[in-house]
Amino acid sequence: MYAYDELDRTLINERVSEFRDQVKRRLSGELTEDEFKMLRLQNGVYLQLHAYMFRVAIPYGTLSSRQLRALARVARRYDRGYGHFTTRQNIQYNWIKLSELPDALADLAEVGIHAMQTSGNNMRNVTSDQWAGVAPGEVEDPRIWSEILRQHTTLHPEFSFLPRKFKIAITASEHDRAAIKVHDIGLRLHKNADGETGFEVLVGGGLGRTPFIAKTIKPFVHGRDILSYVEAILRVYNQYGRRDNIYKARIKILVHELGIEKFAKEVDEEWKQMGHSALTLDHSVIEEVRSRFSYPVYEKLPHMPDELKQAAHDPLFERWRKNSVAPHKVQGYSIVTLSLKPVGGPPGDATADQMDAVADLADKYSFGEIRVGHEQNLVLPHVAKRDLPQLWKALDRIGLATPNVNLVTDIIACPGLDYCSLANARSIPIAQELTRRFANHDTAEMIGRLHINISGCINACGHHHVGHIGILGVEKNGEEFYQITIGGRADENAQMGALIGPAVPYAEVADVIEDIVEAYLALRDRPEELFVDTVKRLGVEPFKERVYATR
């Protein structure tokens, strides 16, 4: 957990009273919408189809039980009793009244949560691995660096009016759970040959209209130099980024147009000129931030407690454990993923009651800590293995023990046309139908790891480009159609999916996905070959044939 300092608390409280005043002036007509729009966006407030949408940051995906209860309270008091966890470690509320927003912000401020920089052309929430600090084999806790970057960039004038929004993600594990290659800057913590800790810096990744996989700009930047190096990148971006054209304004376009070598050279020159010493991080600063993260005092526990041995006889428990429970760096503990993807439910939604119940379970079984991952699931990061059977029963009672993590029904989906004013087509009902089609757990298990990602328009909030199967809503003559891609992935081998053919109408999407999955089952050379690997081996053709031969 991270303890915010006085500065943060003052800042957050000031922002709330400032916004309260701005809302009052908007409602009285003193401010026009044109004047107010920027101000509300700076506080995470968008206007959607049915209402205002309120986006709240969950820095590096870490929440205390107290904070989660505050999120639940906002859902209950000011919204319709639920919230939507997004792919960027935020939560969105869909039905907030502008007149009540200042109160909601004030409630959140009490627990150190805010909505700053969750929209607008600034540095967005710096995201990280949801297993940070507990994953075995991690170089060190990447959140320390997320926090250093967060502090440095929050309300920093140079980063508040960028050509476009800017997103950074950090990982410290071999396996990338933070999707760093589809961010404006991706940082991978590792050690160099001398055993020093630093970052591989990647730049220019992104999804949306023009997707790019980030490229490595520098294989190793020492930890103490990371602020100055990131700042050098941002300065080059600020100078050359296309402010004239919103579709070309992201850094990925600049990197693409200049080429990574030229871009890297510009950054290096800037870095040299800055005489990067001013931003060099003092050891004491890093340690000060590190000291604000508290870690549980773990017990010495057996690797295989009796409770777990006994529970292993229950096949229902076993199938949940197999998909939801991952090894922890400390013996006797586990990392537990809570699926927010029930059969027939909207992906990533949780009710206020569920949030409260998870907060209670976190207190009981996970040292009061909860994480939020980019796959729109929750995580209890420190569960003693002996408690797993009890936890499973408790989760099952609140509908959070669906044993489908990483399986075909663990779908990422954006809000789509049910909520979003930019959408071409609906996302959620497509996801719901797919979860019903693949509801049979044995089938899902046989299919194995398969990520379906759905976006309702080209902005790609649902990460469709990097889904093993990607589904993108488009519009044709006023009807909803969907383009389908296969072979994408978001991990350390990130890649964009390839289009399989013409878009298909709403009513056929689930059939087409079933066809693709059946084709895979027939084509894989052994049960362990994952869907993405079969696509990699065989290309799009056999799938295309299967889907379009009869259509």
Q: Which residues bind ligand HEM (CB under 6 A)?
A: 46, 48, 53, 86-88, 92, 164, 167, 206-208, 250, 414-415, 419-420, 422, 459-461
49 binds, among ligand SF4, ligand HEM, other proteins, none (CB under 5 to 8 A by kind): other proteins
Cβ distance to ligand HEM smaller for residue 92 or 130: 92
Up-side HSE of residue 372: CA atoms within 13 Å toward CB?
31
Cα–Cα nearest to 370, from 138, 149, 85: 85
List the one residue out of 181, 177, 178 whose CA is nearest residue 204: 181
Binding partner of 428, given ligand HEM, ligand SF4, other proteins, none, CB within 5-8 angstroms per partner class = other proteins
Q: What is the closest distance, in whole angstroms, from the C-beta atom of residue 423 to ligand HEM in the complex?
A: 8
Task: Write down the least CB distance from residue 100 to other proteins, Å.
Answer: 8
Q: 27 CB contacts (<8 Å, ≥6 apart)?
A: 98, 99
Instruction: CB nearer to ligand HEM: give 197 or 238.
Output: 238
CB of 216 to ligand HEM, least distance (A): 18
Out of ligand SF4, other proteins, ligand HEM, none, what residue 167 binds, judged by CB under 5 to 8 A for its kind, is ligand HEM
Tokens linked to 521: 């089952």
Least distance in angstroms from the C-beta of 98 to other proteins: 6
* Farthest CA pair distance, the chain: 68
- Nearer to other proteins among residue 43 and residue 127 (C-beta): 43
Two tokens, residue 209 = 């209209």
CA quadruple 331, 337, 338, 339: dihedral sign: negative
Tokens 């696509």 belong to 535
Q: How far is the CB of 218 from ligand HEM (least distance, A)?
A: 21
Closest residue to ligand HEM in the complex (CB) = 208
**Tokens of residue 167, six digits:** 């997103």
Measured distance CA(85)–CA(83) in Å, rounded:
7
Query: What one-character DSSP code corresponds to residue 60?
Result: G
Least distance in angstroms from the C-beta of 316 to other proteins = 18
Q: Which residue is it, tokens 């966006």?
A: 41
> Minimum Å distance from CB 418 to other proteins?
5
- C-beta closer to other proteins: residue 180 or 414: 414
Within 13 Å, how many C-alpha atoms sit on residue 64's CB side? 16
Task: Say which entry of other proteins, ligand SF4, ligand HEM, none residue 27 contacts (CB below 5 to 8 A, set by partner kind).
Answer: other proteins
CB of 84 to ligand SF4, least distance (A): 10
Q: Supply 10's token pair.
A: 């003052």
Interacting partner of 277 out of ligand SF4, other proteins, ligand HEM, none (Cβ under 5 to 8 A depending on kind): none
Residues lying near ligand SF4 in the complex (CB under 6 A): 414-416, 420, 422-423, 455-457, 459-462
Judged by CB, which is closer to ligand SF4: 36, or 419? 419
Q: Which is nearer to ligand HEM, 289 or 412 (CB)?
A: 412
By a kind-dependent CB cut-off of 5 to 8 A, residue 351 interacts, out of ligand HEM, other proteins, ligand SF4, none, with other proteins
Contact 534, 524 (CB under 8 A): yes
How far is residue 238's CA from residue 161's CA, in Å, rounded to a whole number?
9
Closest separation in Å from C-beta 478 to other proteins: 6
d(CA 370, CA 362): 7
Beta strands, E only, 404-532: 412-413, 452-455, 469-476, 479-486, 498-499, 504-505
Answer with the entry of ligand SF4, ligand HEM, other proteins, none that 156 interacts with (C-beta below 5 to 8 A by kind).
none
Which of 154, 276, 258, 150 is CA-nearest to residue 204? 258
Give the residue from 238, 384, 376, 236 showing the smallest Cα distance to 308.
384
Residue 455 partner contact from ligand HEM, other proteins, ligand SF4, none using kind-dependent CB cut-offs of 5 to 8 Å: ligand SF4
Q: Tell me whether residue 23 or residue 423 sits nearer to ligand SF4 (CB atom).
A: 423
- The DSSP H or E segment spanning 336 is strand 333-338
Using CB under 8 A, list all residues that contact other proteins.
Answer: 26-29, 32-33, 47-52, 80, 82, 95-99, 342-346, 349, 351, 399, 417-419, 421-426, 428-429, 432, 436, 475, 478, 480
Nearer to ligand SF4, 426 or 489 (CB): 426
Secondary structure of the chain: what % helix, strand, coil (to 5)?
A: 45, 20, 40
- Token pair, residue 195, equals 């055993």
User: What's the full length of the chain, in residues?
Assistant: 551
Return the number of the residue (39 or 326) whose C-beta is nearest other proteins: 39
Rank residues 90 and 324 by Cβ distance to ligand SF4 and give the closer one. Answer: 90
Look at residue 4 and give the partner it binds from ligand SF4, ligand HEM, other proteins, none, a contact being a CB closer than 5 to 8 Å depending on partner kind: none
Q: Which is nearer to ligand SF4, 389 or 416 (CB)?
A: 416
Q: Distance from CA of residue 31 to its chain's centroid? A: 34
Q: How far is the CB of 121 from ligand HEM (least distance, A)?
A: 9
Rounded to the nearest 5°, which phi and psi values hold at 180?
-65, -25
Nearer to ligand HEM, 23 or 162 (CB): 162
What is each CA distance from 112 to 15, 57, 90, 201, 289, in whole angstroms? Answer: 12, 11, 14, 30, 16
Considering the complex, what minimum distance in angstroms separates the CB of residue 546 from ligand HEM? 30
Q: Which does 343 bind (CB under 5 to 8 A by kind): ligand HEM, ligand SF4, other proteins, none?
A: other proteins
Residues 6+ apart with CB under 8 A from 484: 469, 470, 471, 472, 499, 500, 501, 503, 504, 509, 512, 513, 516, 547
Minimum distance from residue 124 beta carbon to ligand SF4 (Å)? 14
Select from other proteins, ligand HEM, ligand SF4, none the partner in contact with residue 349, using the beta carbon and a kind-dependent cut-off of 5 to 8 Å.
other proteins
What is the number of alpha carbons within 13 Å of residue 472 lying toward its C-beta?
Answer: 29
Q: Tokens for 158, please give them.
A: 């140079």
